[in-house]
Amino acid sequence: MNPSKKQGLLQALRAIVGADQVLTEGDLSAWELDWRKRERGQALAVVRPANTEEVALVVQACASADVSIVPQGGNTGMVVGSTPDASGTQVVLSLSRMKRIRQLDAANLTVTVEAGCLLQTLQEACAAAGFLYPLSMASEGSCTVGGNLGTNAGGTQVLRYGNTRELCLGLEVVTATGEVWNGLSGLRKDNTGYDLRHLFIGSEGTLGVITAATLKLFPMPKAMVTAYASLPSLDAAVQLLGLAHQHLSSGLTGFEVMGSFALSLVRKHFPQQHVPFAGDDAFCVVLELSDHDCEAHGRALLESLLEAALQSGCVVDAVVAQTQAQAQALWHIRESIPLAQAQEGLNIKHDISIAVSRIPDFVRETDAAIQGAFPGARMVNYGHLGDGNLHYNVQAPEGADAEAFLREQEKPLNALVYAQVDRFNGSISAEHGIGSLKREKLAEHKSPVALGLMRAIKLALDPHNHMNPGRVLALEPLPSKIPGA
């Protein structure tokens, strides 16, 4: 980009959001480096608008200068989707100042909130008003509503409440041309043509900028009871899940599985945490029951489930949290796994989904194939078993140079795992999205018809490929029609 055009754009951006909200100097790694430290980009500028009107003007200014935009929330994404590329020509549009909760409509059971609001802030505000906003994940203290929508995030309550898409009733979006679409109706029924909200949810910033959303609320359960169980195998975990559905019905709100090596990383990197059962069994499960009667009722239900499970042999040992603090400590073990894995070093993540019934076979076969082809590779296996979503992750062999392992083995290892995912009719991305890390894999694993439709949608909504280019789809920018650009 020629320097005078760049200065012209920076001047325009400063006029829109204020000079102190256009960052070009100093340490920008919070915006330029992805959470997993897989890629460091370089931004032309980080721009932080205060409201939707400013977002629209920023998008218009960038479009006029033929400059692309990377929308960013908390930058906790797992697939390198929210950081700029290395060209120094992309504007990072951070929504972090747009965090207002605009309206909580108790009768309509909805909340309308700006995209930069932290998920945890939203959960807490809703809880204070007596409602549950059920989206929940370990990154909730840093990730934003806009990022959750951009990735269609999942988390630990999906088996009862659905993923972000299912929690969203309406959006406000700044389009690639800088127009504002207000779709914040809060309606549960609206069959007036194409449902545009679903195009933007999960589009990872490639179609427009989400500036606000109307989301569903639920009555706060009277009690949430948590148990932690050790199991001899993944087959046993699937059996326990079946029993849990039978015994707890819609009260089952969490069912997370953790392999013994994943738990050993928590013990190693967070020795202050007490991880029950000392790694004796192959897998552990965190189970949560939400009860709309009372705590005693919930506890009795959960205990009767565990009794049945112990009798059938699918559970070897179990504890039920007696206090809220104990429940949090049990959940904290599960939530610490990604952090423990990051501490252990660079790693390969597979965020896959497969029909729950087929997961044990998938893991058995794929573990064996990986051990055959990549001896010593360490399997960090955990995830949202209740949704059929496994984080089937791989750490370099003990003592190996992780960077070299990834450089040399990531491609063939991914090819092996994703071929297995195809064989089991699964998905290569259950909840993290595609970003740039999985873009080539998407092209290999999605049908040509689906890819063609996705491409057509992208070109219709963002013909000049200004919105987060290079993410999700590989698309060359079309020649700009903007005079002088």
Q: Note the residues at the interface with ligand MLT (CB under 6 A).
A: 78, 138, 338, 349, 351, 383, 391
Taking contact as CB under 6 A, which single stretch among the options 77-85, 261-269, 320-328, 436-444 is the one that binds ligand FAD? 77-85
Q: Supply the minimum distance, in Å, between the C-beta of residue 73 and ligand MLT.
A: 15
**Is the CB of residue 97 less than 8 Å from the CB of residue 49?**
yes
Nearest to 185 by CA among 200, 199, 196, 201: 196
Of the candidates 78, 75, 111, the residue with the CA atom closest to the CA atom of residue 93: 75
Strand ranges in 298-356 using DSSP code E only, listed in sequence order:
317-320, 347-348, 351-353
The site string for ligand FAD over 27-56 (x = CB under 6 A, - otherwise) reads --------x---------------------
DSSP-assigned states of every residue in 359-421: HHHHHHHHHHHHHHHSTTPEEEEEEEGGGTEEEEEEEPPTTS-HHHHHHHHHHHHHHHHHHHH
- With CB under 6 A as the contact rule, the residue among 68, 72, 341, 366 that binds ligand FAD is 72
Q: Does 413 bind ligand FAD (CB under 6 A)?
A: no
Comparing CB distances to ligand FAD, the nearer of 76 and 409 is: 76
Minimum distance, C-beta of residue 87 to ligand FAD, in the bound complex (Å) = 16
Q: Rounded to an integer, what distance in angstroms lies between the CA atom of residue 67 and that of residue 480?
A: 11
For ligand MLT, give the closer residue by CB, 302 or 430: 430
- The least CB distance from residue 146 to ligand FAD, in Å, is 3
Instruction: Choose among ligand MLT, ligand FAD, none what residue 426 binds, the Cβ cut-off being 5 to 8 Å by kind.
Output: none
75 and 48 Cβ atoms separated by less than 8 Å: no
Q: Which is nearer to ligand FAD, 85 or 281 (CB)?
A: 85
CA–CA dist 183, 169 (Å, integer): 9
Whether 116 and 99 have beta carbons less than 8 Å apart is answered as yes
**Alpha-carbon span 40 to 314, nearest angstrom:** 45
The DSSP H or E segment spanning 22 is strand 22-23
| DSSP β-bridge partners for residue 230 | 284, 317
In the window 191-250, what residues touch ligand FAD (CB under 6 A)? Answer: 204-205, 209-210
150 binds, among ligand MLT, ligand FAD, none (CB under 5 to 8 A by kind): ligand FAD
The one among 49, 154, 388, 469 contacting ligand FAD by CB under 6 A: 154
**Quick check: 157 binds ligand FAD (CB under 6 A)?**
no
Out of ligand MLT, ligand FAD, none, what residue 148 binds, judged by CB under 5 to 8 A for its kind, is ligand FAD
Looking from the CA of 472 toward its CB, the CA atoms found within 13 Å total 24
Among 413, 468, 469, 473, binds ligand FAD (CB under 6 A): 468
Task: Report the residue number, 74 or 338, with the smaller CB distance to ligand MLT.
Answer: 338
Least separation in angstroms between residue 43's CB and ligand FAD is: 13
Nearest 10 degrees: Cα torsion 388, 395, 275, 242:
10
Residue 80 interacts, among ligand MLT, ligand FAD, none and using kind-specific CB cut-offs from 5 to 8 Å, with: none
**Per CB under 6 A, which region of 147-155, 212-220, 292-300, 414-422 contacts ligand FAD?**
147-155
Q: Which of 155, 170, 183, 254 binds ligand FAD (CB under 6 A)?
A: 155
**Residue choice 41, 74, 170, 259 for contact with ligand FAD (CB under 6 A):** 74
Structure token pair of residue 307: 């009794």
CA atoms within 13 A on the CB side of 286: 28
CB 14 within 8 A of CB 22: yes
**Cβ 377 to ligand FAD, closest distance in Å?**
22
When CB distances are held under 5 to 8 angstroms depending on the partner's kind, the choice from ligand MLT, ligand FAD, none that residue 186 binds is none
If contact means CB under 5 to 8 A according to the sort of partner, which of ligand FAD, ligand MLT, none does residue 74 touch? ligand FAD
> How many other β-carbons are positioned within 10 Å of the β-carbon of residue 341?
24
C-alpha 38 chain-centroid distance: 16
**Interacting residue ranges for ligand FAD, rule: CB under 6 A:** 35, 70-78, 81-82, 95, 115, 137-139, 143-144, 146-148, 150-151, 153-155, 204-205, 209-210, 338-339, 431-432, 435, 468, 471
